[in-house]
Amino acid sequence: MTRPARDRAIEGTSRERAIEGTSRERAIEEISRERAIEEISHERVLESSLGERDAAEVLRAPGPDAFGRAPGVPARVAVTGLKLADFRNYAALSLELDERHVVLAGDNGAGKTNLIEAVSLLSPGRGLRRATLDEMARTGAGGTFAVAAVLDGPDGAVRIGTGVTEPDAAAGERSRRVRIDGAAQKSAEAMLDHIRVLWLTPASDGLFTGPAAERRRFLDRLVLALDPAHGTRVAAFERAMRGRNRLIEEGMRDPGWLDAIEAQMAELGSAIAAARVEAVACLAGLIAATREDHGAFPHAELALEGEIEALAAASGPAGAVEDRYRAILAGARERDRAAGRTLDGPHRADLRVLHGPKQMPAELSSTGEQKALLLGLVLAHARLVGATVGRAPLLLLDEVAAHLDGRRRAALFDVLDSLGGQCWLTGTDAAVFAPLGARAQVFEVAAGRVLPGAGPAR
């Protein structure tokens, strides 16, 4: 099931390149259809031959590549400019940044989390608070808001803008628009071609003790970073399943209809399970390989629980999982009707985490240990995304550093550097971040205003 990590890294980057190619081509087309086709295809040939050489060099040469990067180190993508309009408590904000880590210090309620929530909107979905669009708009702004960022990465500067623009639309009809370099995008997923954003907030503290749904969401976010199609599949599966539940509730008058829906569920569900199994295996492999690297955080052992996931993990002929799941669904109609919902499927899976050094289930570990375990998991995830996608994810750590002792904090800062990406950290006390020194830019946040803080100058 799992292929060597190196193969995966190549696959990831080449896929990335293909996606970049398409959006770029589209952009060119939109700007000017008149432009000679010859010119474009020439450019494309140049681009692809360069790309292949890079990949080959990274793999074969033990030294740094053509850009002076060490082999295997993902490219850095940093937010170098951020503008907010009517977002939460910010009426208007313009921040100029460099590519170093960003530290936001300030009192409770000053708007630190609001700021990194805005940054979290540079990924598809509802951001790190999973808030509605109405909640994100500043009170009195008529439901509209805008977040615009300038990214500096391997493609040079890229402008991403997102927000709600139509003030008249009814609350339910508002949708988040995404623009990349000024061109409107059909889907928020287009942002994944440029930047991956991961986060850890105090809201995740109860992840191990809380309901399985939370861990499943955590797991799917993990898969999504490796396989952008996962989100669409999960949404399609849930839609099909709700359809099945409705048919069952209405008395299953048409078995042919149920057959048809269950065939869809089986196809989507087996693909979801396979993607999860693969992602967990990758992450577990990476944790096992790097666990002495950051001893300050206990390593986690991961296990995926779920009927369909177990089938997907057992090696078998292609299509066997799909057929098996279809048979399970067909055989469980009466029982599911009594239960009022579908009882088998990837929507019931759970991610079990074990505290590695103590061999103890995470949910039974102490609060502090759970926090360290979770942080270690998120850091491993970030490393995996960097290796797979070829660009280091942006990491948002809300109120994380303050809860660590000095030794762990220093270890965290070192790990952040080794990940290769920009990291945004928040805390009430700027002094906590002093060990970062010139590696970070510090800002003081107070009542919707952000001012350069007392951190050391570059």
* Residues of span 199-238 touching other proteins by CB under 8 A: 229, 236
Instruction: For residues 7 and 5, give the distance between their C-alpha atoms in angstroms, rounded to a whole number.
Output: 6
Least spacing, CB of residue 174 vs other proteins, in Å: 16
In 3D space, the residue among 132, 226, 229 whose CA is nearest the CA of residue 171 turns out to be 132
Tell me if 260 contacts other proteins by CB under 8 A.
yes
Contacts of 284 by beta carbon, 8 Å cutoff, 6+ apart: 301, 302
Tell me if 257 contacts other proteins by CB under 8 A.
yes
* Interacting residue with other proteins among 263, 281, 310, 411 (CB under 8 A): 263
Tell me if 21 contacts other proteins by CB under 8 A.
yes
Tell me if 30 contacts other proteins by CB under 8 A.
no
Angle between helix 367-389 and 255-290 (nearest 10): 100
* Interacting residue with other proteins among 3, 6, 7, 18 (CB under 8 A): 18
Tell me if 35 contacts other proteins by CB under 8 A.
no
CA 11 vs CA 150, 216, 275: distances in Å? 27, 26, 15
Give the rounded distance of the alpha carbon of 441 from its chain centre: 24
Least spacing, CB of residue 41 vs other proteins, in Å: 9
* Interacting residue with other proteins among 165, 264, 290, 418 (CB under 8 A): 264
Query: Dihedrals φ, ψ of 62, to 5°?
Result: -75, -20
Query: Dihedrals φ, ψ of 148, to 5°?
Result: -125, 135
Q: Of the listed pieces 13-21, 132-140, 280-288, 339-347, which binds other proteins according to CB under 8 A? A: 13-21
Least spacing, CB of residue 359 vs other proteins, in Å: 38
Tell me if 101 contacts other proteins by CB under 8 A.
no
189 or 444: whose CB is closer to other proteins?
189
In 3D space, the residue among 214, 371, 213, 382 whose CA is nearest the CA of residue 298 turns out to be 371
Query: Dihedrals φ, ψ of 186, to 5°?
Result: -70, -35
24 or 449: whose CB is closer to other proteins?
24
Strands (E), 44-191: 78-87, 90-96, 101-105, 145-153, 156-164, 177-180, 183-184
Tell me if 254 contacts other proteins by CB under 8 A.
yes
* Size of interface with other proteins, in residues (CB under 8 A): 26
Tell me if 154 contacts other proteins by CB under 8 A.
no
Using an 8 Å Cβ cutoff, are 448 and 454 in contact?
A: no
Binding site for other proteins (CB under 8 A): 15, 18-19, 21-22, 25, 48, 229, 236, 239-240, 242-244, 246-247, 250, 254, 256-257, 259-261, 263-264, 268
